[in-house]
Chain A
């Protein structure tokens, strides 16, 4: 490591922000991909990979991705819930890679829920 200046200290802090957003909280949005047996069978893994790919490419640190079990609506899997802080959560169904990428761009980044993929708005929050 080269000699550091005070600006370097701040830069290092920024660089590690994604990890510490996970550990300390303070994220702007949380996406839960439902990964029950039904979800995995319907392709939830590919949906999650596509979502993480989008986040990586966008270079943002304030959106976290988690998984949870079966949401109870197995026929509409893969399901994902998008929670933007202080807004009602939105559950999306029948997802695939293209749909989750569109949701990422329009809802998570743009702030507008993608109504045509949404199943329900405003169930319980998890944060």
Chain B
């Protein structure tokens, strides 16, 4: 055995692979070999590290130095400086946005500092394709404990006492689900895993399956033992190829090692696990639809009861748990329920993983204790909105969730508190929206999604979501009527109350929350024909405030339809007849001189904008001096 003096943990998650981490890997190998370092420095390909926006990323141990945005060109210098001469290479380090000073160590970077890793305990620390590395981090010790030292009742009690709730979105207590299924007598039972992550902007489960597939498999073994199941399926959508590959590899390795299959660890317990590929229908994330899909039928929900704990897959008692829920199980069994409860709140214990995306500085995957405020997640970990933009709302829970405004950012992230706002914790998608986002357009986007994904079995969802979508489309196109708002509210409540499954029962949430917190935007769309964010093309007039214009020509160059005229030192003008309302000029202007006015506006812009004229006078004074 040669002494290895450093481990380079290079991210090979989907995000980093997309930003060319495999090419970086090749270059690193080549360069290490060239420098004669290949036998003392080991490259380990890990699952998603979480800091996807800055990829490809790499952590260097034992120095704990974090490198980001690696390129093939930078590799020779990096290898020479850091790995040969021992001088960490500042160019590739994380830098604080304002101060530009480099932060070399991973644990000092704000994005990582505030996180508590339980589900993502092996994130960036192991090679997900090697079962030995999982075992080296106490892997399968919880399964061994559950199988040899605990009765099924004890397993269920531990999980119940931990307070763990389903991380798929609804938050049903996991231990109770297991208890129901364990009490039903049946020769065949099924342990199922829901990896059908379908919310726009959510990638928590994919990351867990890619970065630590064995943690899901181990959770399933323990669950199967608790309920008395000998067969299991992991339902994953086919559009997650890397997750499928690593899960299959994990199942093969575990089967070969006798951790799956017959007589696991010589305890006499059998558990066979298979992957079932879903075709990517959103409704198949609903438990009864998912089970029908595995049966080979069209994925459509059925009324409950009977609940799956009594009649599930092929009418046999079944338990379906989400990927993240299952990844929480092994540490709970090893460390006990009190340990799990040491984080979070009374009713929402433990940690939750969120996929932070949208108009935010640090896009990525974060795991935080429940009960932390939205503000901490967005500002301290996420680094706040993208530079120069203003926070408008955060969307939680995807198409089933809602938009939460700035005024509610201090509420703690628990199932109950988020529910009270009208949104849901959901599976953990967290999309940050800035002042360039139209909230009516956002509601329309989600309804477009749910109307499309509605399976069509029940009328309220099939027809209701379609009508909601049509009304929202009318409003964004300038055909809104004042009575629309009331219709939207009434119809939303009907769809919510009378739909068959979770899809329809939550689909109106994006409409209801935007109506509740951003009603003024709906009203200005309908009454003034004015989309203040400048998104709905029919509801805008772009106008250059001559008092603010520096005549720099940026808008002129950005305009695709040559609708802007002007020259040096002469304030620019938009020829309205030629304008296609694409907002390119607005995005290009560095002086905030392009204003968005209502459609067909002919009055005095200064009078309408009010606040805008304050800027104008300031600018004027500056110009005089």
Chain B residues within 8 Å of A21, by CB: 62
B1 in contact with A13 (CB, 8 Å) = no
Known: A1-B253, A52-B40. A18 touches B87 (CB 8 A): no
The distance in angstroms between the C-alpha atoms of A67 and B84, with both chains bound, is: 7
Any chain A CB within 8 A of the CB of B137?
yes
Interface size classification for chain B:
35 or more
A5 in contact with B266 (CB, 8 Å) = yes
Closest partner residue, chain B, to A37 (CB atom): B85
Known: A3-B257, A5-B265, A22-B61. A66 touches B138 (CB 8 A): no
Any chain A CB within 8 A of the CB of B578?
no
Chain A residues within 8 Å of B338, by CB: none
The distance in angstroms between the C-alpha atoms of A43 and B192, with both chains bound, is: 60
Any chain B CB within 8 A of the CB of A82?
no
- Nearest CB on A from B4, distance (A): 7
A56 in contact with B258 (CB, 8 Å) = no
Chain A: interface residue total (CB-CB under 8 A): 40
Any chain A CB within 8 A of the CB of B7?
yes
Any chain B CB within 8 A of the CB of A91?
no
Residue in contact with A12 in the complex, picked from B1, B135, B148, CB distance below 8 Å: B135
A19 in contact with B62 (CB, 8 Å) = no
Known: A32-B86, A66-B86. A16 touches B62 (CB 8 A): no
The distance in angstroms between the C-alpha atoms of A59 and B1, with both chains bound, is: 8
- Nearest CB on B from A90, distance (A): 18
B132 in contact with A9 (CB, 8 Å) = no
The distance in angstroms between the C-alpha atoms of A37 and B84, with both chains bound, is: 10
The listed residue with most A CB atoms (<10 A of its CB), out of B3, B132, B135, B259, is B3
Known: A13-B138, A23-B61. A52 touches B3 (CB 8 A): yes
Chain A residues within 8 Å of B2, by CB: 52, 56
Closest partner residue, chain A, to B145 (CB atom): A6
B3 in contact with A13 (CB, 8 Å) = no
Chain A residues within 8 Å of B132, by CB: 12, 15-16
The distance in angstroms between the C-alpha atoms of A59 and B265, with both chains bound, is: 30
- Nearest CB on B from A45, distance (A): 8
Chain B residues within 8 Å of A40, by CB: 84-85
Any chain A CB within 8 A of the CB of B256?
yes
Q: List 20 A-B contacts (CB under 8 A).
A: A4-B259, A4-B265, A5-B266, A6-B265, A9-B135, A9-B141, A9-B144, A15-B136, A16-B133, A16-B136, A19-B4, A19-B7, A35-B86, A36-B86, A64-B5, A64-B62, A65-B5, A66-B6, A67-B5, A67-B84
Known: A12-B135, A36-B87. 15 other contacts (CB 8 A): A4-B140, A4-B257, A13-B136, A15-B132, A18-B4, A19-B4, A20-B136, A23-B9, A37-B85, A40-B84, A52-B3, A55-B3, A64-B5, A66-B6, A69-B86
